[in-house]
Amino acid sequence: MKNYFSSNFRLGVLGGGQLGKMLLTETQKFDIYTVILDGAADAPCAQICNEFHQGSLMDFDTVYNFGKKVDLLTIEIEHVNIDALIKLEAEGLEIYPQPSVLKIIQHKGKQKDFFVKNNIPTSPHKRFSSLAELKKEQFNFPFVWKSAQFGYDGTGVKIVKSESDINLLADTDCIVEELIPFKNELAVIVARNKSGEIKTYPVVEMEFHPEANQVEYVICPARISEEVALKARAIALKVAESFEHIGLLAVELFQTANDEIIVNEVAPRTHNSGHYSIEASYTSQFEQHVRSILNLPLGNPESKVAGIMVNLVGEEGFSGNVVYENMAEILKMDGVTPHIYGKKETRPFRKMGHVTIVNNNLAEARKTAEKVKNTIRVISK
C-alpha cells in the first residue's frame, strides 16, 4: 500500500464547495495533503485545504494542468472537463471516479440509455437535441423534462403540464420522462474500491420542498418495509457493478405505488442524501469516499442511531450577506449538530448548510427535525 498519510502524496479534488469542505475533515484526520481547484476565490474549501488553485472546472487547459500537479484526482462535482481527464488518465494519472463513468453520468440522456442497456429499471424516456425537435412530438401530459447537462437541486428539471408549458422550456439537449406516481423517493449510497470491495449504506427516504424541488429532510432509516429496503439495496448494487465505478455512487430511487423500485438518476460522488452519516454512521460517506478512492479497506456503513438531516437553504425574499437566526435555540436541542458551509452570500433556496438530528427513536428525531426547520432562519441583514 502507498503511504498516503503524513507523506508527500498529493490528493487533487476538482471542486471546492461544501462537499469538498466536508471531505477535508476526513483528509485532515488522516493527514493527507489536499490540492483543490475551484472557480471561486472564496469557495468553502479555499481557506482550509493545503493548497488552493482558482480556475474553471470546465476549461481543458486548467483541469489538465491542475491534474499534472497531483498524484491522484477525484471530484466533488461532476460538471468538469472530461476531455482533460481522459488525457490525464491516458498519461497514467489515477482518477476516481473514472472519466468513462463521469462521461455517462454527467449527461442525463446517456445515463438513462445506460440503465436501459444494463436492464436497470427506470422510467421510460426519450432524448431530444433541441426545443424545436421536442415540439414535433406528441406527448401525454404531465411529463418530466430534464436538461441533459448541468442541472442540479431542482434546476433543469420541470414538470410539464400543458402545451403552453413547453414554450417555457430551455432550448437545449434534453430528455423527456414519463411521470411516475411514486410513494417514496429513496436513495442508497454505494462505495466501491479498486479491489472490488463494495458496500451499501442503509436506504434513506427523502422529503421534498413542494415548490423548490429540493430535499428538505433526509431520513435514515427509510420508513419502508424490509422487503422494499432489500430490493432498493440490490438495485443500487446492480447499478454500481454495471458502472464498475471506483468511489461513491449515490443512487436515487422511486418506490412506485405497487412497491417496485426504479432508478431516477445517479451522482458519482458524496451526496446530500448521505450527510446524516457524519453523525449517525460508523463510517461517514466522506471517510468512505477517501477509503474507496485510495483502495483502503471500506468502513462499516451501518448506522449507530437514527439520523435525520435538514437542509438549511436561503429563505425567500433574502439575498446578500448571510445571517443564521436562532442558532443558539437549535443548539439547546438534544442530538442536534449544525454544519455551516461557509458561503457568505445567501439567496432564495441556495444550500447554505445542514443540520443533523440523531436519536435512538426515529419518530422523536423527526419531531426534533421539524422544530429545527421551524426555528432556524437563513436570512440576510
Region class of 196: left (phi > 0), else alpha (psi between -120 and 50), else beta: left
Cell numbers 440503465 correspond to 115
Confirm or deny that 205 is annotated as ligand binding.
Answer: no
Confirm or deny that 177 is annotated as ligand binding.
Answer: yes
Confirm or deny that 180 is annotated as ligand binding.
Answer: yes
Please give the helix or strand (H or E) that residue 312 lies within, else none: strand 306-313
Contact 187, 204 (CB under 8 A): yes
Confirm or deny that 108 is annotated as ligand binding.
Answer: yes
Confirm or deny that 29 is annotated as ligand binding.
Answer: no
CB atoms inside a 10 Å sphere around CB 360: 10
DSSP labels, 108-157:
HHHHHHHHHHTT--B--EEEESSHHHHHTS--PSSEEEEESSS-BTTBTE
Confirm or deny that 161 is annotated as ligand binding.
Answer: no
> 137 pairs with which residues across the strands?
none
Confirm or deny that 146 is annotated as ligand binding.
Answer: yes
Q: Which residues contact 273 (CB under 8 A, 6 or more apart)?
A: 187, 189, 204, 206, 215, 218, 250, 252
Q: How far is CA 237 from CA 251, 275, 276, 294, in A?
A: 9, 20, 21, 20
Contact 378, 330 (CB under 8 A): no
And the C-alpha cell for 58?
A: 470546465
Confirm or deny that 158 is annotated as ligand binding.
Answer: no
| C-alpha closest to that of 224 among 249, 259, 252, 189 | 259
Alpha-carbon distance of 180 to 177, in angstroms, equals 9
The annotated binding site for ATP is made up of 108, 146, 177-180, 185, 264-265
